[in-house]
């Protein structure tokens, strides 16, 4: 690989790995609704147990609190991102806002499936004591049989939108 190409790849990698804005963005827990704030407070106590107690094994309830907390943080971050970008891109146009929002959540849906597939595949290839051919055979017999090859396609969007519409009809 030529030196200039290698340098350009390094520059791109550095841009991806470095935060665009120095410092970190903070979520002010005190500004959250009370039920959510209490959830975060419980999660902090559970997190402190991980730090203080060697070999701490959380209860099923504690695991559920941590999972719910991470889910809530994720939803808040996604909502913030969606709100900011939708406002910038749609300039107040409700149809453009709808298009951005649906496509954004479709992307998140498909990227989640893609990452899960990758992690399933990675578990097989990370196994010790097996040859590459054995790992490849196992991947083809298990993971790749259920692999979704339609991610980020028109078919994927159509399926996502149908599922979204059905879910919305159930809640009405």
Q: What is the pLDDT of residue 167?
A: 80
Model confidence over 95-118: pLDDT tens digits? 888 888 888 889 988 998 899 999
pLDDT band at residue 172 under the 50/70/90 scheme: low
% of the chain with per-residue pLDDT over 70: 84
Better pLDDT: 123 or 88: 123
d(CA 138, CA 125) in angstroms, rounded, equals 9
- Determine contact, residues 150/165, Cβ cutoff 8 Å: no
The 3-class SS string of 55-86 reads CCCCCHHHHHHHHHHHHHHHHHHHHHHHHHHH
Model confidence over 38-88: pLDDT tens digits? 988 888 888 887 777 777 787 889 888 888 888 888 888 888 888 887 778
Lowest mean pLDDT among 11-15, 68-72, 163-167: 11-15
């Amino acid at each position: 690989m030529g030196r200039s190409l290698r340098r350009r790849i390094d520059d791109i990698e550095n841009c991806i790995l470095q935060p665009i804005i120095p410092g970190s963005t903070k979520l002010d827990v005190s500004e959250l609704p009370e039920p959510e704030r209490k959830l975060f407070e419980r999660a902090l106590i559970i997190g402190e147990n991980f730090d203080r107690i060697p070999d701490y094994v959380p209860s099923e309830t504690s695991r559920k609190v941590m999972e719910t907390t991470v889910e809530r943080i994720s939803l808040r971050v996604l909502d913030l991102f969606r709100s900011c970008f939708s406002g910038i891109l749609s300039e107040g146009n409700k149809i453009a806002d709808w298009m951005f929002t649906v496509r954004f959540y479709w992307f998140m849906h498909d990227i989640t499936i893609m990452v899960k597939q990758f992690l399933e595949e990675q578990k097989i290839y990370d196994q010790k004591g097996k040859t590459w051919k054995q790992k490849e055979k196992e991947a083809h017999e298990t993971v790749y049989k259920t692999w979704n090859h339609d991610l980020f396609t028109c078919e994927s969007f159509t399926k996502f939108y149908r599922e979204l519409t059905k879910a919305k009809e159930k809640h009405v």
